[in-house]
Amino acid sequence: MGKKVFVNNKNITPNGPITIERAKELHQFFAERLDGLPEQPLQETIDLSRVDDIDACGCQLLALFLESMKTRGATPILAAAPAALRERIDALGFHDLLALQPEP
Answer whether residue 104 is part of any domain: no
Q: Give the H or E element holding residue 95.
A: helix 95-98
pLDDT of residue 5: 46
pLDDT tens figures, 34-92: 877 766 667 888 999 999 999 999 999 999 999 999 988 888 999 999 999 999 999 99
In a domain, 52, yes or no: yes
Total number of domains constituting the chain? 1
CATH number of the domain encompassing residue 38: 3.30.750.24
Domain hosting 71: range is 5-98
Q: Indicate the pTM of the whole model.
A: 0.81
In a domain, 103, yes or no: no
Which residue pairs, CB below 8 angstroms and at least 24 apart, start in 87-94?
A: 88/53, 88/54, 89/54, 89/59, 92/54, 92/55, 92/56, 92/59, 94/56, 94/59, 94/63
In this structure, is residue 21 part of a structural domain?
A: yes
Residue 39: inside a domain, yes or no? yes
42 located within any domain: yes
